[in-house]
Amino acid sequence: MSSRVRTDGAEERFDRDQTREWFAQYAASRDPEIREELVVAHLNLVRYLAVRFANRGESIDDLIQVGTVGLIKAIDRFDNERGVEFTTYATPTIIGEIKRHFRDKGWSVKVPRRLQELNLAVNRAVETLALELGRSVTVSDLAARLEASVEDIIESQELGQAYNVLSLDTELAAEGEARSATLLDYVGSHDEALELFENKANLEAAIHVLDPRERVIVYLRFYESLSQTEIAKRLDVSQMHVSRLQARALAKLKQSLKVDEG
């Protein structure tokens, strides 16, 4: 984990002065060669950050690549005069780029799936391994068999359930319950609003109270039957945001229909 920016003492002092000097030159000349020097000088920072996101299921090379894009953006936007260290400035930009990469990859959908799959795999492996070994299996047995870390095994067992809660369409298979309800079933106010959709004629008039974005969400959610997560992906916003907009849109519709009736 040796990194140029981590070292203490004279070497670091030299690096900082050197970096400042380069930035001053780059600000004046926008010389691509100096830019390259700056990129190379900070690749360790990118690597340091990328490694920390490596356990999220993307290859480290990809993360370094998108992180480097963030680094280059940071270099181009950095203002030497502001008195902020470049590393302070660049870290959020690089992390932002790495996280955007995960979002683009639909990562928030994949992670729960991966944990669910691991959860199932663990349940299967417990039986077969117990037969093979002739004793109760340990978490490290499972980790070795499934080529996962001990932490992942524990997490898939303990947190797998919690992670599922994110999709409104996730089935909540409670123990001893025949019917597997979805989270949406528990959102009472939404159900109430949904009933209003039966009255299509009223609705057509009412839909004009929505702004274009709310209209799109209502359309995708109830006509195309997409999940909030899918809508979020399509509109490039968070699922939370979709949830809020949907709730607001339904409240508006409800209000509008009530007024019409009365």
Partner 1 sequence: MRQPLSPQSGANKSRRVELHIPAEPEWVGVARLTAAGIASRLDFSIEDLEDLKLAVAEACNCCIQNGGDGDLSMACELQSDHIAIAVERRGALAKPGARQPASGDDAELGGLGVFLIRALMDDVVYSSDQTGTRLTLIKRLGK
Question: Quick one: CA dihedral 130, 132, 134, 138, positive or negative?
Answer: negative
Instruction: Give me 46's structure tokens.
Output: 């990118």
Q: Which of 69, 95, 126, 203 binds partner 1 (CB under 8 A)?
A: 95
Is residue 53 at the binding interface for partner 1, with CB under 8 A as the rule?
yes
Does residue number 258 form part of the binding site for partner 1 (CB under 8 A)? Answer: no
Residue 10 CB: number of other CB atoms within 10 A?
A: 8
Beta-bridge partner residues of 181: 172
Residue 240 beta carbon to partner 1: minimum distance, rounded to whole angstroms: 5
Residues 49 and 102: beta-carbon distance below 8 Å? no
Which backbone phi and psi does 29 adopt, to 5 degrees? Answer: -105, -25
* Contact flag: residue 8 with partner 1 (CB under 8 A): yes
158 near partner 1, judged by CB under 8 A: yes
Closer Cβ to partner 1, 8 or 177, answer by number: 8
Helix axis angle for 107-133 and 150-158, nearest 10°, is: 110
In the complex, least distance from residue 8 CB atom to partner 1, rounded to whole angstroms = 5
- Which residues here bind partner 1, judged by CB under 8 A? 3, 5-6, 8, 45, 48-49, 52-53, 56, 85, 87-88, 91-92, 95, 99, 102-103, 107-108, 111-112, 150-151, 154-155, 158-159, 162-163, 165-166, 238-240
